Amino acid sequence: GKKIHYKEKVDSTNNVAKKLAEEGAEEGTIVLAEEQSGGRGRLERSFLSPFAQGVWFSLILRPTFLPMEVSKMTLLAAVALTKALHKMGLVECGIKWPNDILVKDRKVVGILTELNASMERINYLVMGIGINTSLTKKELPKDLRKTVTSFTIENVPVHRQALLQEVLLQLERYYEIAETEGFKPILAEWKVLSMMMGKEVEVSEPGRSFTGKAVDLDDSGNLIVETEAGRETVLAGDVRVRA
């Protein structure tokens, strides 16, 4: 059966998972930790992961689709996570492009997907997921109080095991949809669960930044932003909803 590697403390579950994947671990293998000393986020940011205050884990996948479809896997994870959080009572959360889950403008889930692939095929993919469960405001460093939240901060009681179970169930469900029907139905759900569509946003990409209205997601999962100069396609970078 599939293995869950449970650890008390690691630098990053993504690092441990990558190592296991290199050693041939099968698809579905999970690395779960109580604490990360070097939790990582997108854009080389660090990700706060204190002892027992969240669900910090990584999932090894070996999908058969093309490497260029990988960004869509991240959108898939965001859809699955949002569904799971809704089921667990955090009904207010929504997706911020590409793959953060927020309550209002504070992050409750972050996803970091890392890939080992050639041009033609994916060798393995490590999907790292961090869900803030019982972080409290008091324990948050000051600079994070405006940008981070948790189940506890939102006054939603949470049971970590039940949450993880629901998350894995939803991930499996959407992964099966992707492999049988493709990503179209998943991108459609992403739009519904997004808290960005139709909103004024600020985009900062390496080398440029601009504002406009988030209007769509294209078939590759890029965000389409309508500006005064026309439609822009956002491939990477940071997008914020304007206050």
Of residues 90-119, which lie at the interface with ligand BTN (CB under 6 A)?
A: 100, 110-112
**Sign of the dihedral through C-alpha 128, 37, 154, 243:** negative
Q: Which is nearer to ligand BTN, 40 or 72 (CB)?
A: 40
> Nearest-CA neighbor of 51 among 108, 8, 110, 15?
8
DSSP 194: B
Q: Is 7 in the site for ligand BTN (CB under 6 A)?
A: no
Q: Is 67 in the site for ligand BTN (CB under 6 A)?
A: no
In the complex, what is the shortest distance from the CB of residue 130 to ligand BTN, in angstroms, rounded to a whole number?
3
Return the residue of 20, 32, 40, 102 that touches ligand BTN, per CB under 6 A. Answer: 40
In the complex, what is the shortest distance from the CB of residue 220 to ligand BTN, in angstroms, rounded to a whole number?
20
Of residues 120-149, which lie at the interface with ligand BTN (CB under 6 A)?
A: 128-130
40-48, 133-141, 145-153, 208-216 -> range binding ligand BTN (CB under 6 A): 40-48
Q: How far is it, in rounded angstroms, from Cα 80 to Cα 83?
A: 5
Q: Which is nearer to ligand BTN, 34 or 189 (CB)?
A: 34
Q: How far is it, in rounded angstroms, from Cα 168 to Cα 28?
A: 10
In the complex, what is the shortest distance from the CB of residue 127 to ligand BTN, in angstroms, rounded to a whole number?
9
**Contacts with ligand BTN: how many residues (CB under 6 A)?**
21
- Please write down the long-range contacts of 218-224, taking CB distance under 8 Å and 24 or more positions apart: 219/183, 219/184, 219/187, 220/68, 220/71, 220/72, 221/71, 221/72, 221/74, 221/75, 221/98, 221/183, 221/187, 221/190, 222/71, 223/97, 223/98, 223/196
Q: Which is nearer to ligand BTN, 73 or 177 (CB)?
A: 73
Q: Is 237 in the site for ligand BTN (CB under 6 A)?
A: no
Return the residue of 25, 29, 48, 58 that touches ligand BTN, per CB under 6 A. Answer: 58
Numbers of helices and strands, H then E, in the chain: 4, 12
Q: Which is nearer to ligand BTN, 94 or 130 (CB)?
A: 130
32-40, 65-73, 77-85, 180-188 -> range binding ligand BTN (CB under 6 A): 32-40
**Sign of the dihedral through C-alpha 168, 224, 149, 90:** negative
* 28, containing H or E segment: none
11-19, 69-77, 146-154, 225-233 -> range binding ligand BTN (CB under 6 A): 11-19
Q: How far is it, in rounded angstroms, from Cα 60 to Cα 115?
A: 10
DSSP 82: H
Pairing, β 30-36 against β 4-10: parallel
- Residues contributing to the site for ligand BTN (CB under 6 A): 12-14, 36, 39-42, 45, 47, 49, 56-58, 100, 110-112, 128-130
